[in-house]
């Protein structure tokens, strides 16, 4: 493995780590919806 | 004579409202009370439900419910609706401005560092979302109301970081008819916002003011935002703001959220009343002289009786008193009055009913509407019929016509799907794919030139780029479909669909309102499941949630498109439409099974407003599409990235963590092979297909990315056309993604979430097997 390999591995690990943290924090904050806020609000129109 | 006997175009006056319970209260809250004039506008294409006009707006009602309303015909020429209001000029009361309660710069202001909290409350279809977006811009946060399954939106008012405005669900009253009404009420009572911003549709003032009156009873500083003033004035109507302000006792600010006018003034007034805690000047709306003052005396007696209890429980006195009179069980429980007092309240109410000649709920509703009518007579000049209403009527002649409604609906949906898959979406998708391919090639060359380790090279190109890239290219199609669905809903058309589909949906045990979550389900199951919260019946809600997975969501589009382009080129539209129809038909069959087993009983009554058709605001639509695109991209770079890397790892390494040359020796292959006997009968007994289906549980888009990684370009070598068709059917019907299952868990509990996963897989398995058997028998594939 050379330096570039190590850098790439670190970047991939960081990206995956950020993704995992996002999924966990979304669950913790109760963010269940798809992010389509207006759609959720519209659903109360009927 | 009942409302059911009134013909189209005829007007009748309500004499008696039969029925009982929450539905009857809902009728009263919508303005259907003794003395109200109602005109029958039309019948739905299948003869039921009917569309009525009262208090200047349209309401739909089933014939069975219309039978509960006793009426007497009136001559249209003497109808109250045609009377013009008179008004006399008064000075501007100046509420919510410095110098009225106190000179500018004085008064007991809240500390400077206080975060001023606001509740934004209003009816449905009054422009609340538009106003909220104007007030907060893009700085919104989506979360949950604790303990209940209703999402909340918070945001700071633009330019005022020390504020927080909470958007509450659109409601018609503070009575506990739906969970949204309870949530809004509890938010105001428990969270005690510093002020309320009550948004009213100026073109539908009478009905909207009913909620206003209940909000005033809560004794919280309040500002009324009179929205859609541009529509009212352009049709020759007007509102005497000074008079309205004087009568309501709170600042009234005319605005047009769509045109962004009056917003600054609204913000100024809202901040002022919140900062100086200027409560409503008037709460006593009962007329001493009307009907012998029965309601007036009842209300004040009740206030005196429960005064100490209201103070102890932290409830506003007037609000508590009116709810006790209405017999609101939640408030009665909260007040915890003793036996003697309970007896006294019963006697007070009995006396009211005897003197007034109306039951308790009708008497209170009548008191409120009487005040509203007096206010409108003094302050509102209504146009005879607005341009928007005339336009809506003309459009409805075709879109809800007896012979044209359903063909128009099918035509519109077909047009939406054709534009999405064959025209706009397909064109944009082609561009995206080109871009992704170019980027992949450049990265591949760079990695080769940099002598990157082969495993890492493979992870990046064959794993991440192949996986995420294949999913990203479907973004245009998903966004396009969402755009059209939002357009249909925002314009008011979906309400019409619910109207004429009601009779059809009743055959499968649901009401017309269930069509809304189902149509949203074609976009995404998660908001569709949440949209079921507006269904007042728990039975209807449960059943609609269980049927939502049969409406094929946009996340499955990449799966269909992938297999169609590989195995069925040139027949894309036919196969897609076929799949959607299959999902719907399977849903109908399952619904019929539910109706006679798990969910026996009648569907919920159908009471729904029909708003005028409106052109959706471009700003709202763009924001919505951006949010959808953003969420899709976030999902791609989070969940799908994780799935892609996980799949790559599991299929590149064996159980001893050595890299494998043949993926068949990998960890993934070993786990998936356990399920091969189960999937063999469907022709899907390949471990790679099984792994792809598993990854679809995390996010449906992952199925394609996983297949790309595992099969590369050689899928046709390993899968027959018939197997591809079975794969399509299985993907259509099997378990929804984890986000949708989590929504089901939140709405119905863990048991139902597990049931839905297993049940959908079982149905998918049998449907795919049936397809395989039929095709084999007729010699196809």
ipTM summary value: 0.71
The pLDDT value given to residue B534: 67
Residue of chain A with shortest Cα separation from B632: A34
Q: How confident is the model at residue A36 (pLDDT cuts 50, 70, 90)?
A: very low
Q: What are phi and psi of B412, to 5 degrees?
A: -65, -45
Contact at CB, B624 and A39, closer than 8 angstroms? yes
Q: Could you give the percent of chain B with pLDDT greater than 90?
A: 24
Higher pLDDT, A36 or B160: B160
Q: Are B566 and B724 in contact (CB under 8 A)?
A: yes
pLDDT at residue A6 greater than cutoff 70: yes
* Furthest CA-CA distance within chain B: 95
Contact at CB, A44 and B452, closer than 8 angstroms? no
Residues in chain A: 46
Contacts of B623 in chain A (CB under 8 A): 38
Considering only B39-53, B398-412, B591-605, B685-699, which range has the smallest mean pLDDT? B591-605
Q: Range of A16's domain?
A: 1-29
Q: Are B737 and B698 in contact (CB under 8 A)?
A: yes
Contacts of A1 in chain B (CB under 8 A): 453
CA B581, CA B551: separation in Å to the nearest integer? 9
Q: How confident is the model at residue B138 (pLDDT cuts 50, 70, 90)?
A: low
Q: How far is CA B263 from each of CA B128, B257, B269, B272, B345, rounded to the nearest angstrom?
A: 13, 7, 10, 14, 44
Contact at CB, B124 and A45, closer than 8 angstroms? yes
CA B589, CA B399: separation in Å to the nearest integer? 27
Tell me how close the Cα of B491 comes to any Cα of chain A, in angstroms: 11
Residues in chain B: 781
B3-83: in CATH 3.40.710.10: no
The rounded Cα B2 to chain-centroid distance in angstroms is 33
Q: How confident is the model at residue B445 (pLDDT cuts 50, 70, 90)?
A: very high
Q: Are B555 and B523 in contact (CB under 8 A)?
A: no
User: What is chain B's percent helix, strand, coil content, to nearest 5?
Assistant: 60, 10, 30
Contact at CB, A23 and B482, closer than 8 angstroms? no
Listed ranges B99-103, B158-162, B461-465, B551-555; the one with the highest mean pLDDT: B158-162
Q: How confident is the model at residue B119 (pLDDT cuts 50, 70, 90)?
A: very high
The pLDDT value given to residue B529: 81
Contacts of A37 in chain B (CB under 8 A): 140, 142, 151, 153, 624, 627
CA B348, CA B337: separation in Å to the nearest integer? 15
CA atoms within 13 Å, Cβ hemisphere of B500? 24
The pLDDT value given to residue A38: 38
In this structure, is the dihedral angle defined by the CA atoms of residues B519, B582, A33 and B617, taken in order, positive or negative?
negative
Q: Are B206 and B53 in contact (CB under 8 A)?
A: no
Q: How far is CA B202 from each of CA B123, B231, B336, B381, B520, rounded to the nearest angstrom?
A: 12, 8, 39, 11, 29
Residue of chain A with shortest Cα separation from B627: A36
Tell me how close the Cα of B53 comes to any Cα of chain A, in angstroms: 17
Which residues is B195 bridged to in the sheet? B118
Q: How far is CA B112 from each of CA B107, B162, B446, rounded to the nearest angstrom?
A: 13, 9, 57
In this structure, is the dihedral angle defined by the CA atoms of residues B530, B536, B542 and B545, taken in order, positive or negative?
negative
Q: How far is CA B239 from each of CA B31, B227, B269, B376, B612, rounded to the nearest angstrom?
A: 21, 11, 19, 9, 20
**Does A35 reside within a domain?**
no
Question: Average pLDDT, whole number, for chain B?
Answer: 83
Q: How confident is the model at residue B602 (pLDDT cuts 50, 70, 90)?
A: low
Among B459, B627, B641, the residue with its CB nearest the CB of A37 is B627
Helix (H, G, I), strand (E, B) or coil at B460: helix
pLDDT at residue B86 greater than cutoff 60: no
Contact at CB, B498 and A46, closer than 8 angstroms? yes
Tell me how close the Cα of A19 comes to any Cα of chain B, in angstroms: 4
* Over residues B308-319, mean pLDDT: 90
A24/B contact by beta carbon, under 8 A: no
Compute the C-alpha angle B626/B630/B636, nearest 5°: 150
A30/B contact by beta carbon, under 8 A: yes
A21/B contact by beta carbon, under 8 A: no
Interval B341-398: pLDDT, tens:
989 999 999 999 998 888 888 888 888 988 998 999 888 888 777 777 888 888 988 8
CA atoms within 13 Å, Cβ hemisphere of B335? 30
Contact at CB, B180 and A12, closer than 8 angstroms? no
Top-level CATH class of B116-275?
Answer: alpha beta
Contact at CB, B451 and A20, closer than 8 angstroms? no
Higher pLDDT, B345 or B469: B345
Interval B25-49: pLDDT, tens:
778 888 888 888 899 988 888 888 8
pLDDT at residue A35 greater than cutoff 70: no
The domain segmentation of chain B, as residue ranges, is: 3-83, 116-275, 293-363, 407-778
Q: Are B743 and B529 in contact (CB under 8 A)?
A: yes
Tell me how close the Cα of B739 comes to any Cα of chain A, in angstroms: 7
Contacts of B495 in chain A (CB under 8 A): 45-46
DSSP-derived letter for residue B761 is H
CA B72, CA B34: separation in Å to the nearest integer? 11
CA B645, CA B464: separation in Å to the nearest integer? 7
Closest by Cα among B754, B753, B760 to B734: B760
Listed ranges B219-223, B501-505, B550-554, B569-573; the one with the highest mean pLDDT: B219-223
Closest by Cα among B472, B476, B433, B478 to B636: B472
The pLDDT value given to residue A42: 36
Contact at CB, A8 and B608, closer than 8 angstroms? no
Contact at CB, B453 and A19, closer than 8 angstroms? no
Interval B648-701: pLDDT, tens:
788 778 888 888 877 778 888 888 888 899 999 998 988 889 988 988 887 787
Q: Which residues of B299-330 are buried (b: 16+ CB within 10 A; e: fewer)?
A: bbbbbebbeebbeebebbbbbbbbbbbbbbee
**Does A45 reside within a domain?**
no
Contact at CB, B167 and A41, closer than 8 angstroms? yes
Other CB atoms within 10 A of residue B413 CB: 18
Which residues is B166 bridged to in the sheet? B119, B154
Tell me how close the Cα of A41 comes to any Cα of chain B, in angstroms: 7
Residue of chain A with shortest Cα separation from B457: A5
Q: Are B181 and B102 in contact (CB under 8 A)?
A: no
In this structure, is the dihedral angle defined by the CA atoms of residues B669, B674, B680 and B682, taken in order, positive or negative?
negative
Secondary structure of B662-677 in the HEC alphabet?
A: CHHHCHHHHHHHCCHH
Which residues is A32 bridged to in the sheet? none
Tell me how close the Cα of A14 comes to any Cα of chain B, in angstroms: 12
Q: How confident is the model at residue B724 (pLDDT cuts 50, 70, 90)?
A: very high
* Furthest CA-CA distance within chain A: 61
The pLDDT value given to residue B87: 53
Among B169, B450, B527, the residue with its CB nearest the CB of A34 is B527
Other CB atoms within 10 A of residue B752 CB: 17
DSSP-derived letter for residue B461 is I
Listed ranges A23-32, B265-274, B448-457, B651-660; the one with the highest mean pLDDT: B265-274
Domain count of chain A?
1
């Amino acid at each position: 493995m050379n330096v570039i390999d190590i850098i790439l591995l670190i970047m991939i690990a960081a990206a995956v780590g950020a993704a995992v943290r996002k999924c966990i924090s979304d669950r913790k904050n109760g963010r269940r919806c798809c992010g389509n806020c207006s759609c959720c609000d519209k659903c109360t129109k009927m | 004579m009942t409302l059911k006997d009134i013909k189209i175009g005829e007007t009748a006056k309500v004499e008696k409202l039969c029925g009982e319970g929450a539905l009857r209260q809902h009728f009263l809250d919508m303005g259907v009370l003794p003395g109200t004039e109602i005109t029958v506008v039309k019948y739905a294409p299948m003869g039921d439900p009917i569309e009525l006009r009262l208090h200047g707006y349209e309401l739909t009602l089933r014939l069975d419910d219309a039978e509960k309303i006793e009426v007497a015909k009136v001559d249209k020429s003497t109808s109250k609706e045609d009377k013009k209001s008179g008004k006399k000029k008064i000075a501007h009361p100046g509420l919510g401005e410095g110098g009225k309660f106190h000179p500018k710069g004085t008064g007991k202001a809240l500390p400077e560092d206080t975060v001023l909290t606001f509740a934004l409350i209003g009816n449905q279809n009054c422009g609340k979302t538009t106003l909220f977006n104007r007030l907060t811009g893009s700085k919104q946060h989506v979360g949950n109301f604790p303990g209940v399954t209703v999402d909340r939106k918070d945001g700071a008012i633009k330019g005022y970081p020390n504020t927080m405005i909470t958007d509450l669900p659109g409601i018609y009253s503070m009575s506990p008819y739906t969970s949204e009404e309870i949530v809004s009420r509890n938010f105001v009572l428990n969270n005690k916002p510093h002020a309320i911003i009550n948004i009213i549709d100026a073109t539908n003032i009478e009905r909207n003011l009913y909620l206003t009156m209940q909000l005033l009873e809560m004794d919280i500083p309040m500002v009324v935002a009179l929205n859609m003033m541009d529509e009212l004035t352009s049709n020759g109507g007007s509102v005497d703001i000074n008079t309205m302000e004087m009568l309501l006792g709170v600042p009234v600010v005319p605005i047009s959220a769509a045109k962004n006018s009056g917003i600054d003034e609204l913000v100024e007034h809202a901040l002022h009343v919140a900062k100086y805690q200027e409560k409503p000047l008037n709460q006593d709306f009962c007329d001493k002289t009307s009907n012998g003052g029965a309601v007036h005396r009842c209300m004040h007696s009740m206030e005196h009786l429960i005064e100490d209890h209201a103070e102890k429980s932290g409830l506003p006195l007037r609000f508590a008193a009116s709810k006790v009179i209405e017999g609101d069980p939640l408030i009665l429980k909260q007040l915890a009055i003793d036996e003697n007092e309970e007896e006294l309240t019963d006697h007070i109410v009995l006396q009211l009913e005897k003197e007034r000649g109306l039951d308790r709920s009708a008497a209170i509703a009548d008191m409120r509407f009487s005040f509203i009518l007096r206010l409108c007579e003094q302050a509102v000049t209504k146009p005879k019929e607005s341009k928007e209403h005339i336009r809506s009527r003309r459009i409805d002649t075709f879109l809800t016509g007896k012979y044209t409604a359903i063909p128009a609906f099918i035509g519109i949906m077909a047009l939406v799907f054709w534009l999405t898959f064959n025209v706009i979406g397909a064109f944009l998708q082609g561009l995206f794919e080109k871009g992704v391919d170019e980027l992949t090639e450049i990265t591949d060359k760079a990695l080769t030139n940099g002598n990157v380790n082969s495993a890492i090279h493979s992870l990046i190109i064959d794993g991440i780029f192949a996986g995420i890239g294949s999913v990203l290219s479907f973004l245009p199609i998903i966004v396009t479909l969402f755009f059209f669905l939002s357009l249909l809903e925002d314009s008011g058309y979906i309400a019409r669909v619910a109207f004429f589909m009601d009779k059809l949906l009743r055959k499968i045990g649901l009401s017309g309102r269930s069509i809304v979550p189902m149509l949203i389900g074609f976009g995404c199951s998660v908001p569709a499941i949440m949209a079921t919260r507006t269904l007042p019946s728990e039975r209807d809600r449960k059943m609609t949630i269980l049927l939502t997975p049969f409406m094929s969501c946009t996340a499955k589009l990449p799966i269909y498109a992938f297999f169609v382009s590989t195995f069925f080129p040139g027949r894309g539209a036919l196969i897609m439409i076929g799949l959607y129809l299959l999902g719907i038909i399977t849903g109908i069959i399952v619904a019929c099974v539910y109706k006679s087993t798990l969910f026996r009983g009648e569907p919920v009554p159908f009471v729904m407003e029909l708003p005028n058709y409106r052109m959706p605001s471009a700003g709202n639509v763009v924001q919505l599409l951006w949010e959808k695109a953003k969420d899709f991209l976030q999902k791609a770079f989070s969940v799908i990235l994780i799935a892609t890397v996980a799949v790559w790892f599991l299929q590149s390494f064996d159980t001893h963590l050595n890299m494998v040359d043949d993926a068949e020796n990998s960890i993934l292959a070993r786990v998936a092979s356990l399920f091969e006997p189960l999937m063999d009968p469907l022709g899907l007994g390949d471990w790679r297909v099984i792994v792809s289906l598993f990854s679809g549980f995390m996010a449906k888009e992952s199925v394609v990315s996983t297949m790309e990684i595992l099969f590369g370009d050689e899928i046709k070598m390993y899968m027959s056309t018939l197997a591809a068709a079975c794969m399509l059917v299985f993907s259509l019907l099997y378990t929804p993604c984890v986000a949708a299952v989590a929504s089901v868990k939140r709405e119905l509990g863990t048991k139902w979430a597990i049931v839905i996963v297993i049940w959908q897989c079982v149905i998918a398995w049998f449907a795919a097997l049936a397809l395989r058997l039929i095709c084999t028998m007729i010699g196809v594939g």
